[in-house]
Every structure is written in structure tokens, then in C-alpha cells.
Structure 1
Amino acid sequence: MTISSTTPADAVSPAPSSPELIAAIDMGSNSFHMVVAQLVHNEIRPLEKLGEKVQLAAGLDERNFLDEASQHRALACLERFAQRISGMPRGAVQIVGTNALRVAKNARAFIRKAEKLIGHPISVISGREEARLIYLGVAHSLSDDADNRLVIDIGGGSTEFIIGQRFETKELESLHMGCVSYRDRFFGDGKITQLQFARAFVEASRELLNIRNRYRSVGWHHCVGSSGSIKAIEQVLAHNQWGTHKITPDGLVKLKDEVVRLGKISQLTKLGVRKDRLSIFPAGLAILMAAFDVLQIEEMEFCDGALREGLLYDMIGRIHHEDVRERTINSLQERYHIDREHAAAVEGTAIALWKQLAEQWKLPSEELTELLRWASRLHEVGLAISHTQFHKHGAYLIRYSDLAGFSRQTQQSLAMLIRVHRRKILDTVFDEYALEDADPLKQLAVALRLAVVLQHSRNGEVLDSIKVKANKRSLTLIFPKDWLQSRPLTCADLEAEKGLLTKFGIDMEFKEEDS
């Protein structure tokens, strides 16, 4: 087995202890945005904001592959961003991809090129994680309010709907409708007819019916819009005196009537629409009007806070040990009735082994340790479904659940570790990873498997006195004198694991210390 020192794309970066600067990049389906900020007394002081219309979603073909042109635009933008964040430490920069990269079948290959260019890991986040981060950015940009608020963010490929109170979310949803995808579906010929607009409005309304009753039941005191499409609509309404600092149903109807009357996207400059937003403006308007109609919104205010600001505040939480991912893990343990004492013993043993293995295998221990911790705490999550093949059930639960704070890549890796923590290891499990990503995960799997075997007795004792000697294709476990002799069942477990690891390409031996 080859040992790689390359960090997998979905490995968790360690949070910086006290960075002078932090940065967040949102690789959206329509635009890429970057904000660089200074952290002053736990508050964010933005220093620079950059944005470019990349329109990544426009490069998705009928098979959902990103074409070369869209990849070139994206990489060129990231190259410019890279110059600004050059020299910033790993962990001080958070980069996420949204809907276009969620659906692109060649996203992994593109991300590898992008990471090499920009020098920091890129995470693809789920729609609900995107919604959580958007709300976090909005909530920190508004005055504190004890009432429920509804936040809507129309992106290039999806639209997020969130109900929250102060800094906590109550409802999160991401619907598959965006200003770029709807432009291509309904306004691709550059014309704006009553029929075209009606079709876009009806389709968006159909999507919204899925959340209408639930959202109306929870309710909200006021509504907030964020990001480019809603900002553009708010500016045009103000420019034409159809609304002052508020978006209302009457203003939207007046705007729609004028948009349809002009009849062509190229004519929308007469309303004050910026040239870089012309092509997507009617689609964003149709989606917003559908939201007002279906959810019975009376008025909306615009807020500058968005996904990139949410990323910054999420990063601050990690720096100060208020990591939402830890809350998610604890919630999963509670929900699925995981034996926490046993999980803690497995975690302690796995980390003790991993520290030794990572040093000898020359792997970035700090960046992978959190992943191993989480896998240890959740390795028995599948028992909530069935004892038979519970490692497979657990992997499925983790891979396809909405886990707040986690990227899709990290969830995938976490699920994979749970999948291979027992029984036979199949190399095919790692086929979807590039070699440089798969090898460190295979090493984590070895540490987790050994910890599970050594904790088979479930007595809660953390085994941190075991020594490990390892090279690229073998490892030796060295136990205290007389330890193995007094534990014949553990010896039998280790013999069985030895055979399984041999088939996996690792030769394992175990012995006691010499007297």
C-alpha cells in the first residue's frame, strides 16, 4: 500500500489559534465571492470584498458535466483570488462550492485543479448546510431580534429558505430553482413574454408548495432577502420609485409588468438593471414573485449578509471551540442511542494509535485527527437499524443525512470509515477517491479498526499504553508484558484482524514487550 502525505480534499482543516486575517470564498453557481476580514475582539472587520460573475452553472451540459469554458472561467477567477490570500495559513481560509458543484459529475476532478491553484481545501456543501450558513451571515448583519425571521436567498442554481430566531435556525430548505437554471429553461432566447414569465412563475410555485404548509405553520415576524438577485430587484424598485427600502407584492407586480412590456433582456437597462445581471434578472424576479405568492409574504427587506459572511462567523466558532460539528455529532449520538462510554474508549484508543502511526507514516496527523474522532464516536450508529451488517447501515445514515457544519466530502469520508471499521475491507470502497485522497483514509481506517478490536470487551478502559512500529506495508503492536497472555479473546480477535489486514495490503504483527 502506498502512503501519501497529501491531505484529502475533505479532510478537516485545523482551526487557526489566533489568525490576523481570515477569508471566505463562496463558489456560487452564478458568482464567486471572496471576503477578507480582520478578527478584532471576536468581531469581524471586513477589509476587502471581491466578486465575479463566473456563471459556473451555465457550463453544465445535458449530462451534468462542467464544460471546459466554465472551468476556465472559474479557475481564472480563483487565480485572482489566490493572489489576495497568498500566505494565509491553512485553516484561516474557508472555501465552499454550492449547487453547481453539488450536481456536476466531474466536480471532483475540477476541485483538485482548483485546490492546487488556490492552495486551500474546497468543500462542497449540501443545500441545507448552505442555508444554515446563509442564515448565520444574515443574522450577524441584522440587529438582535427575538422574533422569527424568514430569510430567502436566490442563487444561481438553488434558492434557500430559512426560518430562524436570533442565531439559531428552525427550518432549513434548499429548492432546486435558481436564476441561472431558470434563465436557461425559460428565457434562453433573450425574450421575455407573458407566457415565458408565467411558466417560470408556475414552476417555482410548484417547488414552493413542498414547504408552504410547514413554513406557514412555524411563521415569521419579518422577511429578509440576501445575495445578488434580491439585491438587484430591490435596487431597481427603488430606482423606479416602486418601493423604498422594502420589497412589496405591489412593487413586484409593477416591475414584472414593465419587464414583460420591454420584452427583451437587452432592454432591461432602461429599468436600471446592471449589465452583468441582465440575463438572469427575469428568472430571479419570477422566483421571488412565486415565493411572495405561495408563502404570502407581505414585505421583505434586503440584507448584505450572505453565505460568505456566514462562513466567517462559522470559522470564528471553530476557533473558539464553539464548533457546530461537535453539536451535530453529540446530537447523532443521542438520537441513535449510541453507547457513549464505549465510543469514548474507542476514540481514545484510536487517537493513541493514530498519533504513532501518523508520525511513522508521515501523514498530517492534526488534519485527520478530527475525522478519526468523529468516526470513533459514530462507528456504531447503524445499530439503531439492525445488528446485522450495522457498519453498512451506519455508513448509509451518515452519508445521506443532513449534518450541520459538515461538507459533503467530509460526510462521505466519515461514512466510508464507518463502512470499513469491521469485517472485510474492499478496495472498491475507495474507488471514488483519487490515490492521493484514498491513502490517508485507508490509514485512518486501520487505526479505527484496531481500536474497535482492542475495545471488544467494552470495559471502557482507554488503551493508550500500546506501542506501534510501522513502515509502508507493515505494523507491529507492542503490548505491556503479560497483557496478551491474560486476554486470550483479544488475541483471537487480533489474529482474525491480522488476516483481514493482510488481504488489505498491511502485514500486522503483535507481541508483548520483552521483560
Structure 2
Amino acid sequence: MAAILTPPRGTGRVIAFIDLGSNSLRLLVARINIQGVVKVLNEAKQMVRLGEGAFIHHHLQPEAMERTLETLRSFADMCQGYGVEEYIAVATAATRDAVNGEEFLAEIRRETGIDFTVISGKEEARLIWRGVASGFEKSDTLRLYLDIGGGSTEIAAASTDAYQVLDSLKIGCVRLANIFPCGEKSVSAKQYEAMQMYVRNEGVHAFRRLADLNIPQIVASSGTAQNLAQITELMNRNSGSNAPDTAQTLTYRGLCRCVKELCSRTRQERAEMPGLNIKRLDVIIPGAAILQTVLEELNFDTVSITSRGLRDGMVTEYVERSCPGALLAPDASIREKSVLGLGRSCRFEEGHSRHVAELTLSLFDSAREVGLHDFSMEVRELLRYAALLHDVGIFITFSNHNVHSHYLISNSELLGFTDREVRFIAALAFFHRAKPSKKHRIFNELEPSAREVVKVVSVFLTVAEALDKSHMSAVASARFARQKKKCVLEVLCKMAAPLERGRLMRCEDRLKKLCGNDMQIVFEEPPARHFIAGTGEMPAAE
């Protein structure tokens, strides 16, 4: 089976994307086809600390350069093994600020064949915005995008399609740690306040511009922010607190508690703190000072955390520039483009998939109106994508195609989605032909909250698929309604639809579990005749 599922080498170009930061070196190797479908072949990250000492001495230090070069040699060997055809490689703050930065990049070129481009701080901010924004639905609302790097902090105030502010502040967790080293002892309140004051002074003009925009949401994309959120979540869990901090959302109060705990510990005690990435031991407090100061200066109570960033922006721009088949519609989001790109690369039956998606959303919306669920618009969006992709597994074989759909969705790099969202979409595609239960490994791998959602919304996809069994779009509409206290599923057909009616009856048990045993199905077919499930009767003409 593995041989069948491995794409032939000719189905796309193999590209390596490399981000050489002041703290970390990141690699992503991907195969990208003409429709813009991205399949990640491998990825790697190494904290080389290239900026160590560079921001004080204005030169990249020999030990840091050797660490970086050694890692890049191994990256180059890996890329050669994958048959990489093109490198997209950028270098940021440590390299652009160092007197010997260009000299070091020339050495990298000689040793590895990888040609890096040094990008400006504002270009870095722009690419980070593109990468993070591609994970959100299109919106005209401004968001603040924040990335705390090793040598600089990038800021963008932007909607999905346009930015108002791009800025790069010469403050990063490594640079700040060089100025205010934490040492072996605990960090005093005075030292932490000095860090914050330094950040305020460096960012004063940017903060004033941003404060005037009244931006409602801030999204942080750096490893620093991710690690602070993880530490805070574990602190809450271990103390039995019901504070709302998670790995995806960090409150200002939660951050303050985290900072207090970090600063109160010696270096050795911090190293033992649950959730702390040991490689960030010496930079986590300076990074927290930057994040806390930004939240205070711009009056944010909560920050959303994302794993997306600069590298995702590089991929997004490459796809838009090099894959004309990915530009499906000028107003389509990157999520929509990647979903339809996967479907088309698997030769899915697009008309059927779109019709099933339309019916699925009608069922979701009407079920919400009659009180069957109260799930969010985010769930609705992911359900739509699952409906569009539910049949892609037929590309492999019709038999057990829901299993193959799950595999293809899980193993295709869908741009704009988190790993959690991809798992959710893939699970829904699987359960369009199976009832969610603990006997399925796929169900058990979901988070408990996601399992409850899948139990309900998979019914809508299963019913919608049944209502287009003939693939002829015979059913014009399907929606839930209330007649007195009884829940009714009303199905209106454009033509006789015996296949759809028969298939729908197989869903009756799941529908009754959702709606109640007294629920009723009204299946109306032309000419002016309809069937009431459970009675075998045709009602009298009105």
C-alpha cells in the first residue's frame, strides 16, 4: 500500500525553504505540484544561536558560525537525498547586523552550495504576516502580528490582504539577554523592570503608531511565545487552577504569573521547570519581558499563539508566484486554495463534492437554529472543507475510500491549517462512512472536546453524502425544522430520487440519536408527492 500512496517523483518540484535566524535554523523540504499542493517531505530545526555575542561585538562569533555551518552541512546532505531542485533561503537579524555577515554567507555558499538572501527587518515582518495570515480566513479586520526573534522583534498591523504598519525593532530575546544576562541567580524585580524599560524605549515610536489603530487582536508566532504559553498551561494544570491559558491562548495575567515564577528561580531551578525548553533557558525571561511590554503598551489582555511564521510566508509566496494552478479565485483564501488544490490533484468529482458541502452546511446551520448544537463558525468552516475532501480517497480505490481520504488529508501539507485542524478535517472525512466510536483509533487520537464535535457534525456530512448518492444533485435542499416540539428533517428534491431516499433511511438511527426518537423525515419528490419516513404514507394533497 505504501508504494501506491507515494507520489511519483514527477508530480512536483522538490523545494527546500531555510530560515537562518539569530537563535534558530529551520529547514522545510517539500514537494509542490503545479496546483500548489504542498507535501512536506521533512523538516528540521536546530538552535544554533548564531547571534550569541554578535549584538555586543557587531561580529558573528567563530563558535556560533561553526555551529551554524555544521548544521547547514547536514541540512545540505539531507536535501541532496531528497533531490532538492531549488533553495529558498533567507537570513535575518544576526547576519544583517554583523560586519562579517556577508563574508559568512559566502563561506556557506562555498561549503554547501546554499545561497542565502539577507532580508530587511520590514521584509521579515511582511513574510511573517503572510505566513501567519494564511492560517486565518479572509478578513478586513486588523490584527497585530508579533514575532519575537533572537535579534529583532517583527511587528505587522494588517488585515488578510493588506498591511498598514510593518516594523522591525532591534530587540530580540538573544540581544536582550546579551545586554541583561540572567546569570545563575534568580532575576530581581529591578533587573526585569530594566529589561522592560529598554523594550519601551526601543519601541516607543512603533507603540505610538500602533496604539492609534485600536487593533482588536494580537497573534504571536515565535518559539518564545509558544514556550511561554506551554509553561503557563502546565503551571495552571499542576496547581489545579482553572485559568483559561492554553498552548494556543495566553492571557496577560497568566504571563505575569509565569514571569514571576521564572524570575524567582535560580538558573538551575528554571532548568527543572515543567514545560521549559532547556535550549531557551537563558533567553526565556528576556523574551517574556518583550511580550509582556508589548501587551502592556497596547492594552491587550490575551494573545493568540501560532506555530506559523516566516517559513510559512516563504512557502505561501512561492506557491502564489510559481504555481498558477493554485490561483483558483482572486478572493479565495489560502485555505480554500490548498483544499481545492488537493481535491483536484486527486481528480475528485468537484460538482458532487461542492453539492455535498452545500447540503452539509445547510444541515449544520438549520440544526443550530433549532437548538441541536451551538458549535462555532470555525467548526462550520472545517466541516465544509471536510465535505469538499470527503471522497478524495477514491483516487486510490473506491473500496474503503474513507480510510484513504483520511490518509491523503493527513499527509498533504494543507496551507493555512494547524495540525489540529488537519486532524479534525481528516477525521470527519473518515467518519462520513463510519460511526464515530472508541473502537476507531482515529477517534481516540482526537482531543476529548473534538470527539464530541465529531460525533454530531459527522452526522450532517453522512446525511449530505446520502442525499447525493446518485451524484446527480437530485436533492435541492435539506434542512432541520421544528413542528411544535418535534424535530423534522425536510428534504426537497428536484427530481425523483429513490437512491437518495433509500440511503437516507440508513441514517435514521443516527438522526434519531441526534434529534430524538420522535423526529420525522419529510422527503418531497416531484410531481408534488412526498414520503413521510416511518409511516409509509403519502400525505393528502393540500
TM-score band, normalised by shorter chain: 0.5 to 0.7
Residues 170 and 74 (structure 1), Cα distance of their counterparts in 2 relative to 1, 3 Å cut: same
Superposed counterparts of 1:308-347, under 5 Å: 308-320=311-323
Structure 2 counterpart of 1:331: none
1:20 aligns with 2:13: yes
**Distance verdict in 2 for CA 1:95–1:18, change over 3 Å:** farther
Give the 3-state SS of the residue equivalent to 2:212 in structure 1: helix
For 2:129 and 2:85, the matched residues in 1 are separated by 22
* Partner Cα distance (1:295, 1:224) in 2: 13
| Deviation, structure 1 residue 276 | 1.3
1:136 and 1:61 mapped to 2: Cα distance?
28
Q: CA deviation at 1:268?
A: 4.3
Q: Secondary structure at the match of 1:315?
A: helix
* CA distance in 2 between partners of 1:202 and 1:151 (Å): 22
Partners of 1:91 and 1:209 in 2: CA distance: 44
User: Counterparts of 2:117 and 2:317 in 1: how far apart (Å)?
Assistant: 14
Specify the alignment match of 1:202 in structure 2: 197
- Pick one of 226, 235, 239 that aligns with 1:231: 226
Q: Deviations for 1:388-441, whole angstroms, at most 9, x for unmatched residues?
A: xxxxxxxxxxxxxxxxxxxxxxxxxxxxxxxxxxxxxxxxxxxxxxxxxxxxxx
CA distance in structure 2 between the aligned counterparts of 1:114 and 1:181, rounded to whole angstroms: 23
Asked whether the 8 Å contact 2:55–2:94 carries over to 1, the reply is no
CA distance in 2, matches of 1:169, 1:43: 26
Counterpart mapping for 1:333-412 below 5 A: none
For residues 266 and 118 of structure 1, do their structure 2 counterparts lie closer, same or farther at Cα, with a shift above 3 Å needed? farther
Quote how far apart the aligned CAs of 1:142 are. 2.7
1:83 is the counterpart of 2:86? no
2:217 maps to 1:222? yes
**Higher mean C-alpha deviation, range 311-320 or range 125-134:** 311-320
Q: Provide Cα deviations, 1:177-205, integer angstroms capped at 9, x if missing partner.
A: 01111112112523322111111111112
The letter for the 2-side match of 1:30 is N
| 1:286-305 correspondence runs (5 A) | 286-305=289-308
Q: Which residue of 114, 121, 138 corresponds with 2:115?
A: 121
Kindly state the Cα deviation for residue 83 of structure 1 after the two structures are TM-superposed: 1.2
Aligned letter for 2:141? D
Pick one of 157, 163, 181 that aligns with 2:157. Answer: 163
Aligned to 2:44: 50
Asked if 1 retains the 8 angstrom alpha-carbon contact of 2:14 and 2:83, the reply is no
Q: Cα distance, 1:320 vs. partner? A: 4.2
Other-structure match for 1:255: 258
Aligned to 1:39: 32
Q: For residue 39 of structure 1, what is the amino acid of its counterpart?
A: I
1:266: how far off?
4.6
Q: Is 2:130 aligned against 1:136?
A: yes
Q: 1:296 to 1:224 in 2, by over 3 A?
A: same
Instruction: Tell me how far 1:89 sits from its aligned partner.
Output: 7.8
Structure 2: distance between partners of 1:321 and 1:42: 8
| Equivalent pair of 1:34/1:81 in contact (CA under 8 Å) | yes
List runs of 5+ in structure 1 lacking aligned partners.
Answer: 1-16, 323-515
Is the 8 Å Cα contact of residues 218 and 300 (structure 2) preserved in structure 1? Answer: yes
TM-score when normalising by structure 1: 0.56
What fraction of aligned residue pairs are identical, expressed as a percent? 28
CA distance in 2, matches of 1:205, 1:161: 14
Cα distance, 1:221–1:18 mapped onto 2, change above 3 Å: farther
* Separation (CA, whole Å) in 1 of partners of 2:107 and 2:47: 20
Q: 1:295 to 1:146 in 2, by over 3 A?
A: same
Partner deviation per Cα, 1:266-288 (whole Å, 9 max, x = no partner): 52432421211111110100110
Matched, 1:280 2:283: yes
Give the letter aligned to residue 141 of structure 1: G
Count of matched residue positions in the alignment of Structure 1 and Structure 2: 306
Matched position secondary structure for 2:184: coil
User: C-alpha distance in 1, partners of 2:285/2:265?
Assistant: 11
8 A contact 1:21–1:37 mirrored in 2:
yes
Root-mean-square deviation (CA), in Å? 2.2
Paired residue for 1:436? Answer: none
| TM-score scaled by length of structure 2 | 0.54
**1-structure distance, mates of 2:189, 2:321:** 49
Aligned equivalents of 1:95, 1:84: Cα separation in 2: 15
Q: CA deviation at 1:108?
A: 1.4
